[in-house]
Amino acid sequence: MSAATPACGGMAPRHPQGAGLGLRQDFLAQLHAALPEGLDFFELAPENWIGVGGESGRALRALTERAPFVCHGLSLSLGGPGPLNVALLRQIRQFMDLHGIALYTEHLAWCADTSGQLYELLPLPFTEEAVRHVAARIRQTQDVLGQRIAVENASYYAAHPNAPLSEIEFIQAVLAEADCDLHLDVNNLYVNCSNHGGDPAAQLRALPGERIAYLHIAGHRRMDDGLLLDTHGAAVIDPVWQLLQTVYAHHGVRPTLLERDNHLPPLDVLMQEVRRIGTLQDRAGPAADVAPPITPQPSSALAAPMTAGRTEALQDTQAAFAARLRRPRGRPCPAGMKARRVDLYARLVHANMNEALLGAFPRLRGLLSARSWSQLVRRFVAEHGCQTPFFRDLGGEFVAFLQGPSQPLADRAQGDAGPPQVALSATGGGSTSRPGGRSDALCALAHFEWTRGTLMSDDTEAPACRPDDDLLHGVPVCNPALRLLHYDWPVHTLRPRQRIAAEPTDLALYRVGADQVRCAQINPLTAQLIECLRPGQLTGAQALASLRGDRDDPAADAAYLDFGTALLRDLRLSGVLLGSRAAADAAPLSLPGVAPEAVTAGAVGAGFPLSPSFSPLI
């Protein structure tokens, strides 16, 4: 199965060779300046980059034009119980075509139940049922992408009891049943053998070398109880380097990538490990002349069609596992599995979501106690089924959870505590608490913070305009990275331990340049004026006239127009307006009885609805 032809505007696919590094936002500026010597290719998670625009999107495009890339998926949930996300796969295919990416890999794991995403790689049971299930989904994935994929052996901490297959037998069976390639993670093999027993060198020799397309190497963390966690947050240890040499000696050199996602050192420190990969590849001789590994004969269970009852058994196991992760104190573990290992996954799920939400909502977190915040996040995990496969959009799911009544995924477990009471006290009358104990003010603040964050990736192109042209007679051009927001609370001024009163608040939130977001409080008619201008059809004078209406008072109209002119100027100086373009068929002025010469800089009046005062709150 060959890769699809690039779409219009795409690049020809390029295959990785040599030594690579996972792409991190932290290094974009350095990499844009120059690619380090010895760095042959990059890897990225498409879920982190699809739809990203602005400066980051342009930087990515510049890099994919200079070096090969690999797409390594995170959220497809190849082994999950829900329907395969075909829409995501189509986006991935388009993304790969656009950037000339030849190889897509995903984890031999699952990360979503039938309710939604859990954003953590979860273990599959090593059973014939799981082989059939995941292989069918891999074949479907390859059909949608129009190419072969490689699946990665995942690290796992909770073993399913009485599994009839070993991990290596499971991997071999999936590869054969799906007819796909192997993305061999050398560190994961080491971690799993350390945690569950086994000889990692013997296991990698048993893998089908002809299917190995790609290698990972990474560091891990040793817990107090001796368990190894695949954290990608430390340097690669010597035994893993030795295993990599064994792979090269037995199966031959493959493109190999250093994974480092946490506790990032400087780029030059990471490059020492990347260059070590290159050195080992240069030193490796031809692969040993050994017989290909013997693929175990399928058991009678694997050779026979899977019955509905056996399919349901797999789904029941996954449902019980996910329920325990969402409510670790209220749901039993799957039969035969160690509670402390399953609960480790529950902590990882909570930690992943907590870290993302802390980054998206720093002010909201600052208004709550540590206990209230933790309870709120746990409630979110328990009750809300996240639908987005894009982890960066988790904040939007959190806002939806806060704004609406809770929609529990299951009945509350016996003894499960209610939602945290996080409502701010208000000086005015009326209810301030939403269903589930969530404050209206906090919901509004969360929406405000999330909207602010989305502006950083807005890549809408601004129409052509002249920055210094006449805003009154031309058609003003609005900043495309602009959001007009209305709240019943002054969310932009909320502070800890503050007593607040409900107050209708209009805000203009917009991006200036590549990385500066500004906020300005505006009055309602200023908001209306901006809304009139956003379609790009009215001149400044026409927009002002539409708000003024028909009034037979030339003197008042002149003063009104003067104030409006000043406001348009302030909107341009602040960055809300970018300039103007010529109006081919617009009337010179639409205000009745007002000629252009009637507009003077000294016109002063009082009581007009528009105020020229526009002070961005940086």
Kindly report, residue by residue over 189-199, the tens digit of the pLDDT: 999 999 999 99
Total structural domains within the chain: 3
Distance of CA 78 to the CA centre of its chain: 18
Kindly report, residue by residue over 156-196, the tens digit of the pLDDT: 999 998 899 999 999 999 999 999 999 999 999 999 999 99
Q: Has residue 390 got a pLDDT over 80?
A: yes
Percent over 90 (pLDDT), the chain: 67
**pLDDT, greater one: 332 or 217:** 217
Domain boundary among 266, 300, 334: 300
The answer to which of 327-331, 389-393, 514-518 has the lowest mean pLDDT is: 514-518
- In this prediction, residues 203-227 reach a mean pLDDT of 95
Q: Is residue 65 part of a domain?
A: yes
Give the pair of three-digit tokens for residue 543.
Answer: 């927009």
Neighbours of 202 (CB within 10 A): 11
d(CA 438, CA 419) in angstroms, rounded, equals 8
Q: Is residue 2 part of a domain?
A: no
Q: Are residues 266 and 384 in the same domain?
A: no
At residue 552 the predicted structure's pLDDT band, cuts being 50, 70 and 90, is low
Burial of 290 (0-12, 13-18, 19+ CB in 10 A): exposed
d(CA 92, CA 94) in angstroms, rounded, equals 5
pLDDT of residue 153: 98
Q: Is residue 308 part of a domain?
A: no
Whether 304 and 132 have beta carbons less than 8 Å apart is answered as no
pLDDT of residue 559: 84
Nearest in space to 175 (alpha carbons), one of 127, 221, 203, 139: 139
Q: Are residues 194 and 327 in the same domain?
A: no
Q: Are residues 50 and 170 in the same domain?
A: yes
Q: Are residues 265 and 399 in the same domain?
A: no
Q: Is residue 25 part of a domain?
A: yes
Q: Are residues 526 and 436 in the same domain?
A: no
Q: Are residues 189 and 65 in the same domain?
A: yes
In sequence order, which residues have a C-beta less than 8 Å from that of residue 263 and are 6 or more positions away?
233, 234
Beta strands 505-512; 516-522: pairing state: antiparallel
pLDDT of residue 297: 39
At residue 616 the predicted structure's pLDDT band, cuts being 50, 70 and 90, is low
Q: Is residue 333 part of a domain?
A: yes
**pLDDT, greater one: 291 or 232:** 232
Whether 617 and 508 have beta carbons less than 8 Å apart is answered as no
Percent over 70 (pLDDT), the chain: 83
At residue 387 the predicted structure's pLDDT band, cuts being 50, 70 and 90, is very high
Q: Are residues 222 and 104 in the same domain?
A: yes
The end-to-end CA distance of the chain, in Å, is: 53
At residue 354 the predicted structure's pLDDT band, cuts being 50, 70 and 90, is very high
- In this prediction, residues 356-382 reach a mean pLDDT of 94
Q: Is residue 611 part of a domain?
A: no
Separation in Å, CA 271 to CA 255, 364, 531: 16, 38, 50
At residue 405 the predicted structure's pLDDT band, cuts being 50, 70 and 90, is low
- In this prediction, residues 579-604 reach a mean pLDDT of 49
Helix (H) or strand (E) holding 150: strand 150-152
Kindly report, residue by residue over 106-137, the tens digit of the pLDDT: 999 999 999 999 999 999 999 999 999 999 99
d(CA 153, CA 170) in angstroms, rounded, equals 10
Q: What is the span of the domain harbouring residue 349?
A: 320-410+418-449
Whether 186 and 247 have beta carbons less than 8 Å apart is answered as yes
The answer to which of 139-143, 429-433, 549-553 has the lowest mean pLDDT is: 429-433
Q: Are residues 72 and 192 in the same domain?
A: yes
Whether 50 and 101 have beta carbons less than 8 Å apart is answered as no
Q: What are phi and psi of 119, to 5 degrees?
A: 55, 40
Task: State the pTM of this model.
Answer: 0.83
Q: Are residues 177 and 273 in the same domain?
A: yes
User: What is the rounded average pLDDT for all residues in the chain?
Assistant: 84
- CATH number of the domain bearing residue 468: 3.90.930.50
Q: What DSSP designation does 466 have?
A: B
Q: Are residues 162 and 240 in the same domain?
A: yes
Q: How many residues does the chain have?
A: 618
Q: Is residue 312 part of a domain?
A: no
At residue 550 the predicted structure's pLDDT band, cuts being 50, 70 and 90, is low
What 3-state DSSP class applies to 101?
strand
- CATH number of the domain bearing residue 266: 3.20.20.150
Q: Are residues 342 and 477 in the same domain?
A: no
Give the pair of three-digit tokens for residue 235.
Answer: 């340097």
- In this prediction, residues 348-367 reach a mean pLDDT of 94
Give the pair of three-digit tokens for residue 585.
Answer: 């068929």
Nearest in space to 40 (alpha carbons), one of 274, 264, 286: 274
Q: Is residue 9 part of a domain?
A: no
Q: Are residues 221 and 182 in the same domain?
A: yes
